[in-house]
Chain A
Amino acid sequence: MNSGWVVTVSVMYLGLLFGIAYWAERSHRTRRWVSNPWVYSLSLGVYCSAWAYYGSVGRAFTNGVEFLSTYLGPTLTAPLWWIILRKIIRICKVQRIATLSDFVASRYGKSANLGALVAFFCLIGIVPYISLQLKAISTSFAVLAELPRTEELTSDLTLYLAIGLGIFVMLFGTRKIEATEQHEGMVTAIAAESLVKMVAFLFVGIYVTFGVFNGFGDIFTQASHKPALRKLFTIDPNGGYGTWFWHVLLSTLNILLLPRQFQVSVVENTDERHLNRAIWTFPLYMMVINLFVLPIAFGGALLFQNQTVNADNYVLAIPLYFDKEWLALITYLGGFSAATGMVIVETIALSTMLSNSVLMPYVLTQPTLRRKIGPNLGRFLIGARRISILLLLVAAYLYYSKLAGRYPLVSIGQVSFTAVAQLAPAVLGGIFWKQGNRYGATVGLILGFSVWFYTLVIPMLAEAGFFPLSLNTVGPWGIELLKPSALFGLEGFDRISHALFWSLSINVLSYVLLSIRLPQTSMEHNQAILFVDIFKYSEVIESSTIWRGTAYIPDLQSLLSQFFGKERTTQLLERFANENEINLNWQRASPQLVNYAENLLAGVIGSASARLMVASVTLEEKISVDEVVEILKESQELILTNRQLRQHQAELERATTQLRQANEQMIRTDRLKDDFLTTVTHELRTPITSIKALSEILQDNPELDMEQRDQFLSTIIRESDRLTRLISQVLDLEKYESGKHFLRTETVQLAEVIQEAVEAVHQLALEKDVQLEVSLTEPLPPLQADRDKLMQVLINLLSNAIKYTERGKGLIQVLLRRSGDQYVLTVADNGPGIASDYQQLIFDKFYQAENQTIRKPKGSGLGLAITKKIIELHHGSISVESQPGSGARFTVQIPLLKEVRAEH
């Protein structure tokens, strides 16, 4: 393929990456969807670098299924992330830690030296790994463009590529001065790259498996006929299992400790809960991307039996062999994205380490240098980070052009892995073992690293001609026991397992022994507690301050403004002052403010540098270890007490509210009862008044004529009846309301009851010359109901209707029909109607009680209330519709088949 074409595509792809990152940064400001668990999980895919993309096939070709150990570690231990990674994330958020070196430095008493050491080792370990990515790109480029030799043209190309990536990282990785801030654009681009490389690898895998061969079965059957390939199917029992253990351990540690993994999984984490998704999706991702590694390795081995094609390049070589140039281009882009993703994230992580853990502590301890830089340390820091990025890429490029060409991808990757594994005792010990101290961590790291260097790097350098080769074969000065590949006579391991065994053992041993033997400083002890018991203390830390001494606000202010600028500093301080009710005009700074300032700085320059800076403007007093624990305990108790206090207060408030509600309810009930009594009394007084007056008249006037006597006496009797009715209604209602009233059910034909009720009010209707129309449309099924009570309801509704219609003009329509499983009975009149305000109230007893001066003509005011109760006992409902001036329509609905409460 034309190499210009490949260059164009590569540049276009980089442009796309810029576009995605730019778009994500932009849209992040308006929508927060960029920080979601899927993007987070995919960004973890940066683990699969070009080494995985090309190298896995190469490794499968030489060692068979052993390549899987790189993925088995993370897969097997993913559930543990919930314990380990979540803890690291929480610690970093609380302590504002943005790099691994700062993590280690911070844990061991904010030790600048330890931080610099970690950063240095990471640099040594990782730069070859970055150059490996550059190598992968240039090799794949050469294969794709079918260049005869790798070095000439591609060497320059690699340099340009390194510069292009550097620009990307500078643009999207150093936008904000706070290293703890997330880089949404970069993370989204990385997530997109994870998708690209997976899809590309699947494409080529499917093509090889199903296009070139006839599926998995075909490839494996053919491969098993070749003796050289057959052994790749199995694990070599001679030391093979040991190799597996060490390699799985290696990948387990690296998924946590690689600077780029730390960057995406910890620093860029926006929500601890995203881990839940990543714990199962990330292993799934690794499984999918490795699905076709073996078929491609075997396929390539079968196709290129007699040719010298590097197995690392099979993914590209196979499509090219069959002239599938497009597929080869897609495959190339997959590898390109794997490499660029890794380079981008790793460079950000390392440059932050360099600037925060190496450069800043150095600058801060050199007064002359600091004076030269001037007051704007923030700009200096960003500049330093950008230069670090370039330096890193240049270093990687130099390593590539001088050394990397001579090794297969896998060996450099694993060497880097082994270097990074040295951080394990200090990091993992640091979050689970309070006693682990800085001597143990430092010596462990140095010794572990030295052993790594001796057992892995020296032999490589010797092979490259920097040392006599005899060093590898017979040992230095001919001492067999010191042979780098078989230290102290340990043989039978592969190089990586051998190196890991020795370096890690010595590292762990030194860490543990020195930690037990030597004491911790108070700062160390403090940090140890905060790290190990992070979940216990994470809310305390903000509020507890383990600092004592003298500090002045203006000093802190000028310190902060060196990084944040005047405006932002004022903002930050004012916010703190507001939240903590501190007056910024006071000269003396409170320990909380000192703590806050240090924390802000830590987010920018790392905890060790922040410590140095704050110490430079304050006068500190020593705090003993016991005091530290005491302070933490106190703040925790304070928080607990506060919480309990708040709880009690809330309970008290709840109780008060309930009490008030109960009281209000009682008052309301009381008033209702009072109203009811008043109304009942009033209603009783009216007939009694007539009875008494007429009786007195009869007594005082014996001479009255027969007719008048008769009139008075029948009025007395009528009023007495009214009195009796009223009393029994009141008692009735009381029974309904207290639930003591039960129905006497029988099978009732509702139509018959209506007829009877109409007959009962017939006389009344005649007297008022009211027309009564009854329509019972269809024969309806009988009803289980209390016949007498239903009769009472109907008579009440009908007599009400008659009562309210105008003499001679009244028209009352009664309609019974069925609607679904309901009887629907309507009684409509053409009387004056009911104002909407009263339509609900009329079903209350004595509804006029609320407005005593308005009384409906006649009636006790209890009829509708009792009617409603009876209907409710039949599980039905009653309502009224009315337009004032054009009559009222009462609608009763009773369910057909409902069981009703039988009388006891």
Chain B
Amino acid sequence: MMKILIVDDEPGIVMSLEFLMKKEGYQVYIARDGAEALDIIHQEQPQLVLLDIMMPSVDGYEVCRQVKGSDLLRQTKIVFLSAKSKESDIEKGLSYGADLYLTKPFSTRNLMAKVQELTA
């Protein structure tokens, strides 16, 4: 079963993402901040991470940088889901090696299509 990690500190968003991913049949892990996220990634090695940027302690950019910088974890797909919508923020996210950058609020239908694409 495909493993997906949701990293966000907003309960409403986590709730919706968890529902959507489970419905598609993924195994879902949830982290509330960057540090927790890195732990899970190392432990479970999920295929895809839905990553928020603004979080206490380690932020999303840092998580992405570490994952994409590691030989072992490089294959992990990373999708940024962030309220930061400026061009510069998006470029920064992609420069760290993220596979996709979606701004909040996102369309669930679009998100699902992209996730399926990436995990295919």
Chain A residues engaging chain B, CB cutoff 8 angstroms: 678, 681-682, 685-694, 696-697, 700-701, 708, 711-712, 715-716, 718-719, 852-857
Given A682-B84, A685-B83: A855 and B15 interface contact (C-beta under 8 Å): no
Q: Tell me if B117 is interfacial: C-beta within 8 Å of chain A.
A: no
CB pair A685 B9 closer than 8 Å: no
Partner of A687, one of B12, B15, B54, B61: B12
In whole angstroms, what is the CA distance A532 to B12 when docked? Answer: 94
CB pair A852 B54 closer than 8 Å: yes
Given A712-B15, A857-B56: A689 and B106 interface contact (C-beta under 8 Å): yes
In whole angstroms, what is the CA distance A715 to B16 when docked? Answer: 10
In whole angstroms, what is the CA distance A687 to B20 when docked? Answer: 18
CB pair A696 B108 closer than 8 Å: yes
Given A693-B106, A696-B108, A853-B54: A686 and B83 interface contact (C-beta under 8 Å): yes
Number of B residues, CB within 8 Å of A: 28
Interface residues of B in 10-24 (CB under 8 A from A): 10-13, 15-17, 19-20, 23
Q: Tell me if B53 is interfacial: C-beta within 8 Å of chain A.
A: yes
Q: Tell me if B85 is interfacial: C-beta within 8 Å of chain A.
A: yes
In the assembled complex, the CB of B52 is this many whole angstroms from the nearest CB of chain A, namely 10
Partner of B83, one of A682, A708, A711: A682
In the assembled complex, the CB of B38 is this many whole angstroms from the nearest CB of chain A, namely 15
Apart from A688-B104, A697-B19, list 11 A-B contacts with CB within 8 A: A685-B103, A686-B83, A689-B13, A690-B13, A693-B16, A694-B16, A697-B108, A712-B19, A852-B54, A852-B84, A857-B9
**Residues of chain B contacted by A687 (CB below 8 angstroms):** 12
**Residues of chain B contacted by A857 (CB below 8 angstroms):** 9, 56
Given A715-B11, A853-B61, A855-B56: A693 and B17 interface contact (C-beta under 8 Å): yes
**Residues of chain B contacted by A688 (CB below 8 angstroms):** 104-105
In the assembled complex, the CB of A207 is this many whole angstroms from the nearest CB of chain B, namely 96
Interface residues of B in 48-74 (CB under 8 A from A): 53-56, 59, 61
In the assembled complex, the CB of B18 is this many whole angstroms from the nearest CB of chain A, namely 11
Q: Tell me if B107 is interfacial: C-beta within 8 Å of chain A.
A: yes
CB pair A690 B55 closer than 8 Å: no
In the assembled complex, the CB of B4 is this many whole angstroms from the nearest CB of chain A, namely 16
Partner of B104, one of A689, A708, A719: A689
Name which residue of chain B comes closest to A848, CB basis: B54
Interface residues of B in 79-100 (CB under 8 A from A): 83-86
In whole angstroms, what is the CA distance A854 to B85 when docked? Answer: 17
In the assembled complex, the CB of B98 is this many whole angstroms from the nearest CB of chain A, namely 15
Given A696-B109, A857-B56: A686 and B104 interface contact (C-beta under 8 Å): yes
CB pair B61 A693 closer than 8 Å: no
**Residues of chain B contacted by A693 (CB below 8 angstroms):** 12-13, 16-17, 20, 105-106, 108
In whole angstroms, what is the CA distance A689 to B107 when docked? Answer: 9
CB pair A689 B56 closer than 8 Å: no
Chain B residues engaging chain A, CB cutoff 8 angstroms: 9-13, 15-17, 19-20, 23, 53-56, 59, 61, 83-86, 103-109
In whole angstroms, what is the CA distance A694 to B103 when docked? Answer: 16
**Residues of chain A contacted by B104 (CB below 8 angstroms):** 685-686, 688-689
In whole angstroms, what is the CA distance A708 to B16 when docked? Answer: 11
CB pair B61 A689 closer than 8 Å: no
In whole angstroms, what is the CA distance A694 to B106 when docked? Answer: 11
Pull 19 A–B residue pairs with CB atoms less than 8 Å apart, ordered by A: A682-B83, A682-B84, A685-B83, A685-B85, A686-B13, A687-B12, A690-B12, A690-B13, A692-B105, A692-B108, A693-B108, A696-B107, A696-B108, A697-B19, A697-B20, A708-B19, A853-B53, A853-B54, A853-B59
Q: Count contacts between A and B, CB distance < 8 Å.
A: 84
Name which residue of chain B comes closest to A690, CB basis: B12
Among A682, A690, A694, A852, which residue has the most Cβ atoms of chain B within 10 A? A690
CB pair A689 B83 closer than 8 Å: yes
CB pair A855 B55 closer than 8 Å: yes
In the assembled complex, the CB of B37 is this many whole angstroms from the nearest CB of chain A, namely 14
**Residues of chain A contacted by B86 (CB below 8 angstroms):** 678
In whole angstroms, what is the CA distance A673 to B56 when docked? Answer: 24
Partner of B15, one of A681, A692, A715: A715
**Residues of chain B contacted by A697 (CB below 8 angstroms):** 16, 19-20, 108
In whole angstroms, what is the CA distance A856 to B9 when docked? Answer: 11
CB pair B15 A711 closer than 8 Å: yes
**Residues of chain A contacted by B9 (CB below 8 angstroms):** 857
In whole angstroms, what is the CA distance A700 to B23 when docked? Answer: 12
**Residues of chain B contacted by A711 (CB below 8 angstroms):** 15
CB pair B54 A715 closer than 8 Å: no
In whole angstroms, what is the CA distance A718 to B12 when docked? Answer: 9
**Residues of chain B contacted by A691 (CB below 8 angstroms):** 12, 105
In the assembled complex, the CB of B6 is this many whole angstroms from the nearest CB of chain A, namely 12
In the assembled complex, the CB of B114 is this many whole angstroms from the nearest CB of chain A, namely 14
Among A691, A700, A853, which residue has the most Cβ atoms of chain B within 10 A? A853
**Residues of chain B contacted by A700 (CB below 8 angstroms):** 108-109
Name which residue of chain B comes closest to A699, CB basis: B108
CB pair A690 B10 closer than 8 Å: yes
The 7 closest A-B pairs by CB, nearest first: A690-B12, A693-B16, A689-B104, A685-B83, A689-B105, A853-B59, A692-B105
Among B10, B12, B83, B107, which residue has the most Cβ atoms of chain A within 10 A? B12
In the assembled complex, the CB of B110 is this many whole angstroms from the nearest CB of chain A, namely 10
**Residues of chain A contacted by B19 (CB below 8 angstroms):** 697, 708, 712
In whole angstroms, what is the CA distance A701 to B10 when docked? Answer: 22
In whole angstroms, what is the CA distance A468 to B23 when docked? Answer: 151
In whole angstroms, what is the CA distance A716 to B11 when docked? Answer: 11
In whole angstroms, what is the CA distance A823 to B10 when docked? Answer: 39
In whole angstroms, what is the CA distance A853 to B57 when docked? Answer: 9
**Residues of chain A contacted by B55 (CB below 8 angstroms):** 853, 855
In whole angstroms, what is the CA distance A691 to B15 when docked? Answer: 11
CB pair A686 B10 closer than 8 Å: yes
Name which residue of chain B comes closest to A722, CB basis: B12
**Residues of chain B contacted by A712 (CB below 8 angstroms):** 15-16, 19
In the assembled complex, the CB of B21 is this many whole angstroms from the nearest CB of chain A, namely 12
In whole angstroms, what is the CA distance A806 to B105 when docked? Answer: 31
CB pair A685 B105 closer than 8 Å: yes
Name which residue of chain B comes closest to A678, CB basis: B86
In the assembled complex, the CB of B117 is this many whole angstroms from the nearest CB of chain A, namely 19
In whole angstroms, what is the CA distance A716 to B12 when docked? Answer: 8
**Residues of chain B contacted by A686 (CB below 8 angstroms):** 10, 13, 83, 104
**Residues of chain A contacted by B108 (CB below 8 angstroms):** 692-693, 696-697, 700
In the assembled complex, the CB of B45 is this many whole angstroms from the nearest CB of chain A, namely 25
CB pair B83 A694 closer than 8 Å: no
In the assembled complex, the CB of A695 is this many whole angstroms from the nearest CB of chain B, namely 9
In the assembled complex, the CB of B62 is this many whole angstroms from the nearest CB of chain A, namely 9
In whole angstroms, what is the CA distance A37 to B11 when docked? Answer: 84
In whole angstroms, what is the CA distance A701 to B109 when docked? Answer: 12
In whole angstroms, what is the CA distance A696 to B59 when docked? Answer: 28
**Residues of chain A contacted by B15 (CB below 8 angstroms):** 690, 694, 711-712, 715
**Residues of chain A contacted by B106 (CB below 8 angstroms):** 689, 692-693
In whole angstroms, what is the CA distance A692 to B13 when docked? Answer: 10
Given A693-B106, A696-B109: A854 and B56 interface contact (C-beta under 8 Å): yes
Name which residue of chain A comes closest to B17, CB basis: A693
Given A685-B104, A852-B54: A690 and B84 interface contact (C-beta under 8 Å): no
Given A693-B105, A696-B107: A719 and B54 interface contact (C-beta under 8 Å): no
**Residues of chain A contacted by B17 (CB below 8 angstroms):** 693
**Residues of chain A contacted by B83 (CB below 8 angstroms):** 681-682, 685-686, 689
In the assembled complex, the CB of A212 is this many whole angstroms from the nearest CB of chain B, namely 102
Partner of B12, one of A685, A694, A855: A694
**Residues of chain B contacted by A855 (CB below 8 angstroms):** 54-56
Among B10, B103, B105, which residue has the most Cβ atoms of chain A within 10 A? B105
CB pair A690 B16 closer than 8 Å: yes
In whole angstroms, what is the CA distance A691 to B11 when docked? Answer: 12
Name which residue of chain B comes closest to A716, CB basis: B12
**Residues of chain B contacted by A854 (CB below 8 angstroms):** 54, 56, 59
In whole angstroms, what is the CA distance A697 to B13 when docked? Answer: 12
**Residues of chain A contacted by B20 (CB below 8 angstroms):** 693, 697
In the assembled complex, the CB of B63 is this many whole angstroms from the nearest CB of chain A, namely 11
In whole angstroms, what is the CA distance A685 to B12 when docked? Answer: 12
